[in-house]
Structure formats: structure tokens, C-alpha cells
Amino acid sequence: MFKSIMLISVLISTPLFAADGKLLATPGVSQVEGSGGGGIVPWAQLAGYASQDEIAANAFCSQSQLSDFRLRSCGAQLNLYDRVELSIAKQNFRINALDTSIEQNIVGVKTRLYGDLVYSKWPMLSLGMQYKHLNDTAIAQALGAKDTTGIDWYLAASKLHLGAIAGYNLFWNVTARRTDANEMGILGFGGSNRDIRLQWEASTAIFFSRELAVGIEYRQKPDNLGLKEDDWSDVFVAWLPNKSVSITAAWLDLGTIAGVKDQKGPYFSMTGYF
């Protein structure tokens, strides 16, 4: 079903939409759960170049190559009139040592509550939801997760300050997420330690040109399973040469995952805008 949705959205979108009503690079890229954002943090911007009179469709794939794991995530977003973002993502998390993979599907909705990234006086504000469904539940259950599906709610604020630092444009985002997901849901939801709680996430970047941004992200994580789950962070370079494509490279530091320490490595992501 996932593949057919992707295919249909790509086929339909190409001739019909081709939204380009936003300024270059201002929508950001695609984060690993499918929402418009950075790499690991959902931002307030809705994915794609749709202005309030347009519809945009985008598709993306990313790969995170960690020391002992590999995460692949592919998905798509539909931006309706810069008011609502619908997203889907399929994640495949490979555990090298066990020669096995965990799959998770995520459906997301985000709505813009206030503002514009560039023009409004106050930061742009959006409310989002990610419904996560784990397809491979054995490992999550073995580790003591309470559920194999979960819902994250988040409130994100973003702003681009024109010429703010020695003339360069400065971007920042802060996201508050209400979640009980373990490692984003890959290891299930909830556990013996704790349940749903609020986590903080943040990103900032400087645009060295219209096309090139360099930044960092931070994502606080709960430790419901008592496996010393660490906060995530990354340093990224995003290249958005035109309104059709973006390419992001990052260095991830995801700390301890499922009790395995020092999970670091490169991340690559590409989004196509239709």
C-alpha cells in the first residue's frame, strides 16, 4: 500500500502541482519520521514550496549509517495550501548483530497555526501529530515496551532572521513533543520506567548562501525501557540548489541505542519537490 501511495503521489503531482510559491530553501527538508523539518526534528514549516494558493507534493529517502545499526526512511508529504501537511514514512531499522530489521510506518499531520517563517513578526507556529505503527514487534516486546503503536504530538516554533548574523540569515526552531516512543518508536512505546512525557527538540542553522545551510539539531529522548536511551544530535549541511530537489548530509550522534553505546555515523537524505 505504501509503495502505491508513493507512486501515485509522484505520478499525479509532477504535471499538476509544481508549487514554487515560497522562497528558496525556506520549507526546510524532510525528517526521519516523514514530517517537514530538519533531519531528526520536525519544524514548524510545512514541507514543500506551496504558498497559501497552492498544493505541493514531495517525496524523500534518507539513510543513517550508524556503528551497529542502519536506519532507512522513505516517505512523502502533501502540503495543502500551506495550512495542512500530510505525511507518510516507512522506516527500516537494521540491527547488524542480529541480521534482522524492524519496520515502522508513520502517518503524520501538521497544521500551521500562525505566521510565516520569513515575514511574520512572531515565529511561525505549527501543531503536529505522528501516528506510529510498528510492523515488527518482537524486539520491542522483548525489551518491555508497553505498546507497539503510539502517537506523538508536537508544537513547533520556527523563524528565519534575515541578515541577522553579519548579514547571513539565521534559522532556529524549537519543538515540544509529547511522546512515549522508545528510539522514535522502533523499540515500541512506553515501558517500566516512565510513560508519556514532554521532550524538547531544537535546531539552528546559518544560510551561507541562498542554497546552502549549515546547522545543528538536538532531540531530547525519554528512557522508558531503562536502556540508557540517549538524546540525539546532529550537525548538518543542507543544499537546496532549486525548488525541485534538496540534499542533506549530516553527522549523527545518537548515543546509546538498545544498550549499545556510541552510535554515530553519517546521514544522507534527498527530497524531491513536485
Partner 1 sequence: MFKLIQKLATTLCLLFLLVGCAATSQTPQSTLYDRLGGETGVDTIVSGLIKQIGQDKQIFHYFADTHITRFRTQLTQHLCAITDGPCKYTGDNMTDIHTGMKITEKDFNHLVDLLINAMNLQGIPHRMQNQLIARLAPLRANIIYI
Give me the residues that bind partner 1 (CB under 8 A), please: 20-24, 51-54, 82, 118-119, 121, 162-169, 200, 202, 204, 206, 208-210, 214, 216, 218, 220, 231, 233, 235
Of 152, 226, 138, nearest to 185 by C-alpha is 152
Q: How far is the CB of 24 from partner 1 (least distance, A)?
A: 8
Shortest reach from residue 82's CB to partner 1, in Å? 8
d(CA 270, CA 187): 25
Shorter beta-carbon distance to partner 1: residue 7 or 214: 214
Question: How many other C-beta atoms lie within 10 A of the C-beta of residue 259?
Answer: 11
- Output 179 or 233, the one with its CB closest to partner 1: 233
Of the two residues 143 and 227, which places its CB atom closer to partner 1 in the complex? 227
Nearer to partner 1, 203 or 271 (CB): 203
> Which phi and psi angles does 66 have, rounded to 5°?
-95, 175
Closest separation in Å from C-beta 200 to partner 1: 6
Provide the minimum distance between the beta carbon of 212 and partner 1 in the complex, in angstroms, as a whole number: 10
Give rounded-to-5 percent helix, strand, coil for the chain. 10, 55, 35
Q: Of 15, 31, 25, which is closest to residue 49 (Cα–Cα)? A: 25
Identify which of residues 23 and 61 has a Cβ nearer to partner 1 in the complex: 23
> Minimum CB separation from partner 1 for residue 120, in Å?
8
Q: Is the Cβ of residue 24 or residue 95 nearer to partner 1 in the bound state?
A: 24
Show the 3-state SS of 95-153: ECCCCEEEEEEEEEEEEEEECCCCCCCCCEEEEEEEEEEECCCHHHHHCCCCECEEEEE
Least Å distance between CB 121 and partner 1? 8
Cβ at position 97, least distance to partner 1 in Å: 28
User: Counting beta carbons within 10 angstroms of the beta carbon of residue 165, is it exposed (0 to 12), middle (13 to 18) or buried (19 or more)?
Assistant: exposed
Nearest to 255 by CA among 216, 229, 219, 234: 229
Q: Which of 200, 263, 204 is nearest to 238 (CA)?
A: 204
The residue (of 54 and 147) whose beta carbon lies closer to partner 1 is 54
Distance from C-alpha of 274 to C-alpha of 148, rounded to nearest angstrom: 33
